[in-house]
A and B are shown apart, each in its own frame.
Chain A
């Protein structure tokens, strides 16, 4: 993975030193909150309901054991012994004290990490397929390009005060695990008819109060044109994007209001201006970065022991059935470690768990770890012969839940348990759904089902692209939960349909149960997933299950 060079180090250290002085000036009263707020947000520091929150960037979700151990150290030294992994592959600390934050940032800089541009109207952490560099279906590892974009966007002088925040996601696989169509810019690696690698460029996707699926602005962009083209997109947005209304300021609205064709013409014109300025230095940089992402030396070993262990141990077998993904190298597997133990807070890991994961990555995983946007941790390169040991260690630390992709593998934003923007809580709803279906012992029978919960309309919990989406709102001073159905965050991205009136906190679990029971009745076989059944039958039968009283009234 990429290691900071002298320039990166000096830049990050300088920013920490600046912020240390800014915090001192805030505490001694020489800076007002109005003056300080933009400065702290530039460094990822929010003020929430109960405390400050520090959001640390995990570029394209990639970590090694040293970084993960340092995240554990921060959690113990300056927080309450845990961290929260987010849907943008970042980590959030919920309890830092203002005066400690510069020390936290210095400790991050020690391992080549920072919190820059994790907030504010800038280009945020570039997210990527969490199986990058390992997936069997991949054209190429997208992370070198993601790192190039990180270097280009960090402190980019033109893009520090955009109309609104700006999020880029990239995948190297045809199977989109990075939700690229719900980003301001989505990049999908493709090959043209001549077999040359390039990108399909998607623009104007986003969730929030006006959810939109991104549109293709260029179906094939040569690799060497990437930076000038992306710069052209952001540059046009910077001038054209609305600054008069926060709710209409994202690029999805700019594209929708001006039309994709107009937007494309403007981008192409700007691209023509910018392209000559990119002399090829970016491609030299990229070549250097690519060398740092060279695949590990995979070993050739027997998997007989793994198969025997699988046959003898049903719990291990169940875990391998749900938590492994096919690896490109023979004998290897991608391990998804669930941070969704039934009843636990989705995405939370204790310092001890982080250290266990770091140890496993070091011993069995070529020292690589990933954070997924679904708030789990990935060991991307594990030889199958090591899986029994990996599983035993995970199990000893509450990390062996066999539920990846199932009903309890829920995305949930922090909601009103932490977030100042939230209109309702998300975490308790996720906890209750997970424990409820675990008690019913139905989880594996239900099969693949993505539930995503947001505690406000900003949709950090991706509810619009959940097969079942839940949105927490404040209805006349009471928490109320609205259901959307049929959403999909993959290459077949779809915004879910609103099912009808919302449910109170004590009615939302029974409502989800009625939906799931209806699906089990309606599916044509155990192989038809919830989403497939929904697509075949539409909203009507599910609506009937959700609102049985209304149906009775109609029938009467």
Chain B
């Protein structure tokens, strides 16, 4: 079995108290803006950063690695599900798109 080449990732989770989407930054903070997240280009680093996230169960829930791509303004989501998580629902201006 051939392994797929590693593609860039961000570490993401839901905040324990608010439940909303958060992303891990290079300096070990959790941000509500994916553009401020750490874009991880190396698989071993990704595993390490994910373990770091999982070790904070009193801050975040359900941490995982999500595909992301570099842009001029920082990492951006690839899959539509991850894009929705950066914004909020499409039927009301609630969630992150409303600056919440």
- Chain A interfacial positions (CB closer than 8 Å to B): 26-29, 32-33, 47-52, 80, 94-99, 345, 348, 416-418, 425, 427-428, 431, 474, 477-479
Contact = CB atoms under 8 A, between A and B. Distances in A.
B43 to A, nearest CB: 21
B61 A427 contact: no
Interface of B: 14, 16-21, 57-58, 61-62, 78-81, 84-85, 88-92, 94-96
A345 B91 contact: yes
29 contacts: A27-B17, A28-B58, A29-B58, A50-B19, A50-B21, A50-B88, A50-B94, A50-B96, A51-B20, A51-B95, A80-B92, A94-B89, A94-B94, A95-B94, A97-B19, A98-B16, A98-B19, A99-B17, A345-B92, A348-B91, A416-B80, A416-B81, A417-B91, A425-B90, A427-B89, A428-B90, A474-B80, A477-B78, A477-B79
| A49, A50, A416, most chain B CB atoms within 10 A | A50
Contacts of B90: 417, 425, 427-428
Contacts of A32: 57
A399 B37 CA distance: 44
A478 B14 CA distance: 23
A348 B20 CA distance: 21
Contacts of A479: 80
B85 A50 contact: yes
Contacts of A94: 89, 94
Contact of B57 (A29, A95, A98): A29
A27 B19 contact: no
Contacts of B88: 50
Contacts of B57: 29, 32-33
A473 B68 CA distance: 21
Contacts of A416: 80-81, 84
Nearest to B87: A50
Contacts of A425: 84, 90
Given A32-B57, A416-B81, A431 B91 contact: yes
Given A98-B16, A98-B17, A50 B80 contact: no
Contacts of B62: 33, 47
B32 to A, nearest CB: 11
A478 B19 contact: no
A367 to B, nearest CB: 31
A52 B95 CA distance: 12
Nearest to B61: A33
Given A47-B61, A425-B90, A97 B84 contact: no
A431 B89 CA distance: 14
Contacts of B17: 27, 97-99
Contacts of A477: 78-80
B58 A50 contact: no
A342 to B, nearest CB: 14
Contacts of A428: 90-91
Nearest to A422: B81
A320 B49 CA distance: 61
A48 B19 contact: yes
Contacts of A26: 16
A99 B16 CA distance: 10
A49 B86 CA distance: 10
A95 B93 CA distance: 13
B94 A47 contact: no
Contacts of A99: 17
Contact of B80 (A29, A97, A478): A478
Contacts of B92: 80, 345
Contacts of A49: 21, 81, 84-85
B16 to A, nearest CB: 7
A417 B78 contact: no
A309 to B, nearest CB: 35
Contacts of A427: 89-91
Contacts of B58: 27-29
A32 B81 CA distance: 26
A27 B95 contact: no
Nearest to B95: A50
A303 B78 CA distance: 61
Given A32-B57, A47-B61, A80-B92, A52 B80 contact: no
A50 B89 contact: yes
B48 to A, nearest CB: 21
A28 B59 CA distance: 10
Nearest to A348: B91
A474 B91 CA distance: 20
Given A50-B20, A51-B18, A477-B79, 12 more contacts: A47-B61, A49-B85, A50-B21, A50-B85, A50-B88, A50-B96, A94-B89, A94-B94, A98-B16, A345-B91, A431-B91, A474-B80
Contacts of B18: 51, 97-98
Contacts of B78: 477
A428 to B, nearest CB: 5
Contact of B16 (A27, A80, A417): A27
A416 B82 CA distance: 10
B14 A47 contact: yes
B58 to A, nearest CB: 4
A387 B30 CA distance: 55
A345 to B, nearest CB: 5
B89 A418 contact: yes
Contacts of A51: 18-20, 95
A352 to B, nearest CB: 15
A446 B24 CA distance: 52
A55 to B, nearest CB: 14
A88 B78 CA distance: 34
- 3 nearest A-B pairs in the assembled complex, by CB-CB distance: A417-B89, A29-B58, A52-B19
